[in-house]
Amino acid sequence: MNRDASRPAPRLSSPTFSPLYRQIKDFLIRSLEEGEWGPGDAIPSEGELASRFSVSQGTVRKAIDEMASENLLVRRQGKGTFVSTHTDPRSFYRFLRLVPDDGEATHAISDPFFCAAIEATPEVAEALGLQIGAKVIHVKRVLRFSGEPVVFDQIYLVADLFEGLTLEGLRGGERSLYSLFESDFDVRMISAEEHLRAVPADAQSSELIGVPLGEPLLLVERTAYTYGNKAVEWRLGLYCTRRHYYRNVLG
């Protein structure tokens, strides 16, 4: 989507309140949120942005560098800077960090089996910043690695943002869930916070993942956010770690 040339460039406030490059970053994020550039689109060059905001290219570069480090933008040598997208295969393991013991990453196949609108329980409402009883979409699925069931996910989504989501739609194609949310509902997951702990397998997870009742599983509780730090997904994933481990790279 091209910017309306008649729209004046935003006025920058005094850097006394915020570093100038942070102000540029905030304006760029707002442009992404408003759809000026969509996932996969090239953004203007550093020179063009510097001219638009009446700042130096170095200031723009610092803002873009920080956004790239946060996976909002992607630099491509000799091609320019692009808006990150979940359709990029390189982004797949950013949110799914389960790896086989042999270290060979394999593509996970999503097998959803439940999708319905429900009322938010107190726990779900708190996680998503909603009123108790607000409508959410509840999704259940199993993730399979090389045909083996490894993860049982229960996912809760802000219903207003995913109107029309159906079990049939979730089952269509080989796209990741976040790629589907981005392309079909214009909701991009920007960041997430996860809490991990060990729990015993209950009757449902025992049957779905194929482990004995009471066997230790890794519970990964995730809240995912879109632009503006808005919570849009709360997920409870039970991971079987018999032949897989959770990998997180620091630094």
- Over residues 192-214, the pLDDT tens digits come to 999 999 999 999 999 999 999 99
Q: Which is more confidently placed, 101 or 209? A: 209
Q: Which is more confidently placed, 226 or 93? A: 226
pLDDT of residue 78: 86
**Cβ–Cβ under 8 Å, residues 141 and 178:** no
Residue 197: closest CA among 166, 218, 222, 176: 218
pLDDT of residue 6: 46
* Residue 160 placed within a domain: yes
Please check whether residues 68 and 94 belong to one and the same domain.
no
pLDDT of residue 44: 93
Structural domain for 31, as ranges: 20-83
The pLDDT confidence band at residue 120, using thresholds 50, 70 and 90, is very high
Inform me whether the pLDDT recorded for 247 exceeds 50: yes
Inform me whether the pLDDT recorded for 84 exceeds 80: yes
In the DSSP assignment, the letter for residue 37 is S
**Of 31, 61, 83, which closes a domain?**
83
> What is the pTM for the complete model shown?
0.82
Inform me whether the pLDDT recorded for 16 exceeds 60: no
| Total domains, the chain | 2
**What digits encode the pLDDT tens for the residues 121-176?**
999 999 999 999 999 999 999 999 888 999 999 999 999 999 999 999 999 767 78
Please check whether residues 167 and 214 belong to one and the same domain.
yes
Burial-class residue 85 by CB neighbours within 10 Å (0-12, 13-18, 19+).
Answer: middle
Inform me whether the pLDDT recorded for 112 exceeds 90: yes
* Residue-averaged pLDDT of the chain: 87
* Residue 47 placed within a domain: yes
The pLDDT confidence band at residue 251, using thresholds 50, 70 and 90, is low
**Cβ–Cβ under 8 Å, residues 166 and 137:** no
Neighbours of 83 (CB within 10 A): 20
* Residue 130 placed within a domain: yes
Please check whether residues 77 and 169 belong to one and the same domain.
no
* Residue 10 placed within a domain: no
Please check whether residues 67 and 94 belong to one and the same domain.
no
* Residue 9 placed within a domain: no
Inform me whether the pLDDT recorded for 15 exceeds 60: no
* Residue 189 placed within a domain: yes
pLDDT of residue 11: 53
